[in-house]
Amino acid sequence: MGFDYQLVVIGGGSGGLTVAAGAASFGAKVALVERKKQLGGDCLHYGCMPSKALIQAAKEVQEASKYMDIKKVEYNALFEGAMTRVKEAVQEVQDHDSKDRFINLGIDLYEAEAVFEDEHTIRVGAETITAKRFVIATGSSPFVPHIDGMDNVGYLTNESIFALHNKPESLAVIGGGVIGVELSQAMSRLGVDVTMIEGNEHILSKEDDEIVQIAERSLSEQLHILTNAKAERVRRDGKGIHILYTKDGVQNEIHTDQLLVATGRKPNIENLELDKIGVKTDDEGFIKVDESLRTSRKHIYAVGDCNGSMPFTHVAGMEGKIAVSNAVLGLARKVSYKKIPWIVYTDPEIYHLGLTEKEARKKYGEYLMTFKTLLKDNDRFMAERKKEGLVKVLTTRRGKIVGAHAIGDGAGEWMQEIGTVQALNKKFPSISSVIHPYPAKNNVVSQTADLYWREKLFGSKWNEVIRWYVRKWR
Ligand SMILES: Cc1cc2nc3c(=O)[nH]c(=O)nc-3n(C[C@H](O)[C@H](O)[C@H](O)COP(=O)(O)OP(=O)(O)OC[C@H]3O[C@@H](n4cnc5c(N)ncnc54)[C@H](O)[C@@H]3O)c2cc1C
Ligand SMILES: NC(=O)c1ccc[n+]([C@@H]2O[C@H](COP(=O)([O-])OP(=O)(O)OC[C@H]3O[C@@H](n4cnc5c(N)ncnc54)[C@H](O)[C@@H]3O)[C@@H](O)[C@H]2O)c1
C-alpha cells in the first residue's frame, strides 16, 4: 500500500524540527504538522529563549543598581524594556528558523492539530494524510495542581508571563524547580517583590544537596523562599490575589499582584487519540517508548518532552537525531541519558552532570571519590569578588566521572569541560595534564582534577614509596 509520506512529524518544536530537517536531508518524503502559527515550540516561544533574554536583561539592571539608586518609576520602565528585549530575542530566532527554511528542505508543512484516524492516517484540519512512519514530538504544557480557587484567580504560567507589559509590584511563585527559580530571580532583579512557595523541604530537588544549600542562601537574599509550604486556597479581590498556605503546620496568607504557577509539566497528548491506535502512555500520560524511541506501535516514535524522559531542548534534539537514524535509515540506535548535563541559569549558575553525591554514594559506596574546590580558593574568583560557589566532582576509584556539579559565576560554561571529558570516555584526572590559560575560570576545574593526584600520590602507601625513593636515590 502506498502512503502520502514516508515520515510525518507531529510537532514543530525542538524535537520535531530536528527530525523533520534530518529526515528530509536523507531524502525522505516528509510532512511536518504544527498546530500553532509559528514553528519553534515551547523553547523558542515560552521557554529557553524568552527566559534567557529576561534573565540577561534583569542581570544588567541588577549590575546597574550596584552603582546607582534606581527609583521605583525607573524600575517600571526597565521592566517594560526587558519585556521588549524578550520579544525581540524570540523574533530574531524565529526569523532564523523560519517556515521557508523547512519548506526549502522539501518538507510539506501543515498548520493544524494532528489527530490519529488510524495507525497510518492522521487528520490535519480538513485533510487526511497517510504515512509509513510517524514521529510524535508534541512537547509538554504547564501542569497546574488542584488548589481551591485556582480556576477563577487568573494565574500566570510560562505561556503567559512573557507577555506581561507592566511590572507587577509583587509576584508569588508556586514551585521552586528550575522554572520557578530562574524566573523568580529575574523578576526580583527587575524590582518585583517575589515570594516562592515550594512544597518540598528544599528548592531544586534534583540538585546535589550542597549545591542547593548555596543556592538557597544566595537566592534568599533576593526573594522570600517558603519551603515545606503548601498552597491551600487562592482567591482574587479588588486588591489582588490572596494565597492561603500552610507551612510547618501553621496557616498563613500572602497577598500578591500576580501568581506564577511553575509546578512541573504534563504531556501534550490530549487530542491525538492515541488510545484509538494502541499507543500506550504511563500514569501521567507521557508516551511510553523503548530504548530505540519506538512507542508500543513500532512504526510510531516519540521524542522530546512528550515521552517524559528529560524535559530539555538538548535532549529533544539528541532524541530527534536517534529517531531519524532509526525511522529513516532503519538503524537500531539506542538512547542513553547517562551523560546529559543541564544548567540552571540563575546567578550564581548551576551545572549538573550525572549522579548527585547522595545517588552516587548509594550506587558506589566506598568506591566513590569526591573532589571539591570552593570558588573562594581560586584566584580568578577572588579577583572578581565572585567567591560564592563550589565545584564537586564524583568519580570511581579509577577516576571515571559519575557526577559533576557546580554553582558559581558562569559555571554552566566552564564546567562543560568535564561533560566533554566524560563523553569522550576519558577519566577525570586527565584534565590535570591539559594546560589551562591562567587565570581563566576553568582553572578551577583543573585545580579540582589535581586533587585526584594529590589523593592518589600523597594519601596512599605510594607516598611512603616516593619519599623513600627521593631520599635514597635522588
Ligand atoms: C520557562 C522554560 C524555560 C526553559 N529553559 C530551558 C533551557 O534553558 N534549556 C533547555 O534545554 N530546556 C529548557 N526548557 C525546556 C524546553 O523548552 C523543552 O524541553 C523543549 O521545548 C521540548 O521540546 P519538544 O520538541 O519536546 O516540545 P516543544 O518544543 O514544546 O514542541 C512541541 C510542538 O508540538 C506542537 N503540538 C502539540 N500537539 C500537537 C498536535 N496534536 N498537532 C500538531 N502540533 C502539536 C506544539 O504546538 C509545539 O509547537 C525550558 C522550558 C520552560 C517552560
Ligand atoms: N535551564 C533549563 O534547562 C530549564 C529551565 C526551565 C525549565 N526547564 C525544564 O522544564 C522542566 C519543568 O520545570 P518546572 O520548574 O515546572 O518543574 P520542576 O519539576 O523542575 O519543579 C517543580 C517544583 O514544583 C514543586 N511543586 C509541585 N507541586 C507543588 C505545589 N502544589 N505546591 C508547591 N510546590 C509544588 C515541586 O516540588 C518542584 O520543586 C524542568 O524539569 C526542566 O527540565 C529547564
Residue 207 Cβ inside 6 Å of ligand 2? The answer reads no
Q: Tell me the fold of 143-263.
A: FAD/NAD(P)-binding domain (3.50.50)
% of the chain with per-residue pLDDT over 90: 93
Domain limits, the chain: 5-142+266-329, 143-263, 348-462
CA 280, CA 278: separation in Å to the nearest integer? 6
Q: Which atom of ligand 1 is nearest to the CA of 320?
A: 25
Q: What is the ipTM of this complex?
A: 0.98
The C-alpha cell 530571580 sits at 185
Does residue 305's CB lie within 6 angstroms of at least one atom of ligand 1?
yes
Q: Is ligand 1 within 6 A of the CB of residue 43?
A: yes
The per-residue pLDDT for 330 is 97
For 130-165, how does the pLDDT look when each residue is reduced to its tens digit (9 = 90+)? 999 999 999 999 999 999 999 999 999 999 999 999
| Residue with CA nearest ligand 1 atom 20 | 313
* pLDDT confidence band for 97 (50 / 70 / 90): confident
- Closest ligand to Cα 46: 1
Residue to probe by mutation, ligand 2, list 196, 219, 263, 413, most atoms within 8 Å of CB: 263
Q: How confident is the model at residue 1 (pLDDT cuts 50, 70, 90)?
A: low
Tell me the per-residue pLDDT of 331-363, one tens digit each, with 9 for 90 and over.
Answer: 999 999 999 999 999 999 999 999 999 999 999
- Across 6-25, average pLDDT: 98
In this prediction, residue 467 carries a pLDDT of: 87
Task: Report phi then psi at 369, rounded to 5.
Answer: -115, 140
pLDDT attached to residue 459: 75
pLDDT band at 464 (very low <50, low <70, confident <90, very high): confident
Instruction: Find out whether 11 and 139 touch, Cβ atoms under 8 Å.
Output: yes
- What is the whole-number distance in angstroms between the Cα of residue 66 and the centre of ligand 1? 36
* Closest by Cα among 250, 238, 231 to 180: 231
With 80 as the cut, is the pLDDT of residue 21 above it?
yes
On the question of pLDDT at 292 being above 80, the answer is: yes
Which atom of ligand 1 is found nearest the CA of 272?
41
Residue among 14, 46, 158 whose CB has most ligand 1 atoms within 8 A, to mutate: 14
Angle formed by the axes of helices 443-458 and 461-473, to 10°? 80
Compute the distance between CA of residue 276 and CA of residue 271 in angstroms, rounded to an integer.
Answer: 11
pLDDT tens track for 36-51: 999 999 999 999 999 9
271 lines ligand 1 (CB under 6 A): yes
Q: What is the pLDDT of residues 66-91, one digit of tens each?
A: 999 988 889 999 999 999 999 999 99
pLDDT band at 402 (very low <50, low <70, confident <90, very high): very high
Mutate to test the pocket of ligand 1, among 138, 187, 342 (most ligand atoms within 8 A of CB): 138
Query: Which residue's CA is the closest to the ligand 2 atom numbered 4?
Result: 178
* Average pLDDT value for the chain: 96
Cα separation, 177 vs 206, whole angstroms: 8
Is it true that 5-142+266-329 and 143-263 share their CATH fold? yes
Asked if the 5-142+266-329 domain carries CATH number 3.40.50.300, the reply is no
Joined grid coordinates for residue 56: 540577561
pLDDT at 203: 98
Predicted pLDDT at 369: 97
Query: 311 CB under 6 A from ligand 2?
Result: yes
Per-residue HEC secondary structure of the chain comes to CCCCEEEEEECCCHHHHHHHHHHHHCCCCEEEECCCCCCCHHHHHCCHHHHHHHHHHHHHHHHHHHHCCCCHHHHHHHHHHHHHHHHHHHHHHHHHCCHHHHHCCCCEEECCCEEEEECCEEEECCEEEEEEEEEECCCEEECCCCCECHHHCCCECCCCHHHCCCCCCEEEEECCCHHHHHHHHHHHHCCCEEEEECCCCCCCCCCCHHHHHHHHHHHCCCCEEECCEEEEEEEEECCEEEEEEEECCEEEEEEECEEEECCCEEECCCCCCHHHHCCCECCCCCECCCCCCECCCCCEEECHHHHCCCCCHHHHHHHHHHHHHHHCCCCCCCCCCCCCEEEECCCCEEEEEECCHHHHHHHHHHHEEEEEEEHHHCHHHHHCCCCCCEEEEEEECCCCEEEEEEEECCHHHHCHHHHHHHHCCCCHHHHHHCCCCCCCCCHHHHHHHHHHHHHHHHCCHHHHHHHHHHHHHC
Distance 68 CA to ligand 1 centre (A): 39
Is 348-462 a domain of CATH 3.30.390.30?
yes
Whole-prediction pTM value? 0.97
